[in-house]
Structure 1
Amino acid sequence: MKVLSIHTQRWWMSVLCTALPLTVFSQVTPEELANNIGYSVPVSPAFELLPGKPSEVTSLVTPKDIMASVPTFISKDRVKTGVAADIRPFSYLVKASLSEYQGKAKWKQALWRTVLAIGTAADPTTKNDAFLSAGLRTSIIDKGDPRANKAYTDSLSSAYARGLASLPPPTLGMTLEQAAQRAAQVNKKGMISADSVRKLFNKNSWNKFRLDMGVAFMARAINGSYRSDSLKGDRWGVWIATGIPLGENAQFNVTGKATHSIRPTTEQSETSRYVAGGRFRIFMNNNLAFSVEAAQLWANYSKSTSLNETWTHFAAIAELNVPALGGWLTLAYGGDSAHRSHTESTFAFSYAVTTNRIFTK
């Protein structure tokens, strides 16, 4: 997110402080406050458990791709680190045509949407050990699935056909170069025509009802070995989230997630963390949006129950487009309630003046 000039920010800060002379402002920005709690299932649950999320992920489609990628993960009986891949494990088991996919067998849609992720990372605390993580993410219900929407796929085909029809027909005397140029024009024209249909679909389906779930398990590879006697369970996690439409311009999200450490490193290590929360977002128009969210967090420790703690997260954010500033003015109130490991946590106001918005549909 690009931030406006320091001079502009200081001017706005002076205006805000003049208007609210007794208000305590937080060091946490509205963007950090809004992203403090995730209200959806992670795109790749397996990578959430790794100490460092992979920056490059290979997409594997066919069984041949999977077999060819094995040397990428393993070298001389050792796990290579910093490797990640996404696989659709059931896409070949659910060999459904588009018409069958759009039929009544909803379980086929859920299986096709399921993604398996596998990733590795070096253990930053132990020189020779590595982490191997695997996880599944699936949309059990997705009313905004474009592939399952027959009206959308038909409109997409029609739009592409209209794009082709707008071009003059080919001539018999065309050279190979002219034919290649026309083929490029055909593809470009069809894509431009279809793109307008995609944008309209995304605008109308951004908050359709969906129910997502993710699970992941991470093992420690002692000395980097992938042999069964060297793999020790380290951590697991589970996520579930839903998005509920409230009219055309609002959405309510509910989420729950849990992570559990199987092998705590010290007697004071956190063994598990649970989060339950909800968020309401509404886009009044293209220039004004509001978000209100709240979550409860529980942290448990390995040996002493006296270390267990609970705290509350809350955030209310308003985002307004101000053309005179050339960007967005964002005002927020919230934070975390104080707890043992963060005794200075508090609820406070924060603000930002930025060129890009925080909330998008």
Structure 2
Amino acid sequence: MQQRVDLAAKSAEVQKIRDEFANDTWNATRWDIGLGASDRAASGYLKGDSLFKDRIGLWTAAGFPFPFLKNKGQITISSNSAWASHQSDTTERQRYVASARARFFLCESFALSWEYSRIYSKYAHSGLNENWGHLAVVAEFKIPKLGGWFSPAYGGDSEHWTDKSAKFAINYAVYTDKLIKR
């Protein structure tokens, strides 16, 4: 039975239905909300004396077509909050993040992604509270002679007291499969 299911999943007819569904719905207006909790194994092993059940998070995101470029652009805005049981006044106890991302698919051989996040970190001792920004801009060009894609990128985090070495950088990559997808 599983072999028949696997074979059907790989069939051209099923792939055609998947592709049509993705093309019809990829940029539909949507809203997601989530709640999560995590455990941390300090020793790297799942032993009772090493597990900390001290983190919980809530997030929401909304996506919608980019005005004037409905078939070629998408905007996503999101927000999340995380709370951790802090061990002392100098450990982070809350983090809030507000983000926006825009993706553009101007033609089959070019895509662009831009994202910005503002991070707010809270501590029991308010003098340690801080906030910083994260930026990423990535372009993707199809280069047939390379047999794949070329992608320059710019981004990073602004400096903050918990990471004085944070900076922005320019990077590039060459790869075979498109990464910025609808």
Long gaps (5+) in structure 2: 41-46
Task: State the Cα distance separating 1:305 from its structure 2 match.
Answer: 1.6
Counterpart of 1:281 in structure 2 is 103
Change (3 A) 1:329 1:193: closer
The aligned amino acid for 1:266 is S
Counterpart of 2:23 in structure 1 is 203
CA contact (8 A) 1:289 1:320 kept: yes
Task: State the Cα distance separating 1:340 from its structure 2 match.
Answer: 0.5
Cα RMSD over matched residues? 2.3
Q: Tell me which protein shows more helix as a share of its residues.
A: 1
CA contact (8 A) 1:204 1:248 kept: no
Change (3 A) 1:320 1:269: same
The answer as to 2:75 corresponding to 1:252 is yes
Match of 2:136 among 315, 328, 335: 315
- Secondary structure of the 1:236 match is strand
CA distance in 1, matches of 2:31, 2:93: 28
- Secondary structure of the 1:298 match is strand
The aligned amino acid for 2:75 is F
CA distance in 2, matches of 1:224, 1:344: 36
Counterpart of 2:43 in structure 1 is none
CA distance in 2, matches of 1:320, 1:210: 28
Task: State the Cα distance separating 1:233 from its structure 2 match.
Answer: 6.4
Task: Kindly report which structure 2 residues correspond to 1:5-20, keeping only aligned pairs within 5 A, or say none.
Answer: none
CA distance in 1, matches of 2:176, 2:90: 43
Change (3 A) 1:192 1:356: closer
Task: Kindly report which structure 2 residues correspond to 1:258-297, keeping only aligned pairs within 5 A, or say none.
Answer: 258-261=81-84, 263-297=85-119
The aligned amino acid for 1:326 is G
The aligned amino acid for 1:212 is D
Task: State the Cα distance separating 1:255 from its structure 2 match.
Answer: 0.3
- Secondary structure of the 2:166 match is coil
Query: How many residues end up aligned between the 2 structures?
Result: 164
Task: State the Cα distance separating 1:287 from its structure 2 match.
Answer: 1.1
Identity of counterpart residues, as a percentage?
Answer: 34
Q: TM-score, normalised by structure 2?
A: 0.80
Long gaps (5+) in structure 1: 1-183, 226-231
Task: State the Cα distance separating 1:318 from its structure 2 match.
Answer: 0.9
CA distance in 1, matches of 2:24, 2:123: 45
Task: Kindly report which structure 2 residues correspond to 1:195-234, keeping only aligned pairs within 5 A, or say none.
Answer: 195-217=15-37, 224=48, 234=54
Change (3 A) 1:317 1:219: closer
Counterpart of 2:57 in structure 1 is 237
- Secondary structure of the 1:235 match is strand
CA distance in 1, matches of 2:177, 2:148: 6
Counterpart of 1:356 in structure 2 is 177
CA distance in 2, matches of 1:344, 1:233: 30
Task: State the Cα distance separating 1:332 from its structure 2 match.
Answer: 1.2
CA distance in 2, matches of 1:353, 1:314: 21
Task: Kindly report which structure 2 residues correspond to 1:2-41, keeping only aligned pairs within 5 A, or say none.
Answer: none
Rg: which structure is higher? 1
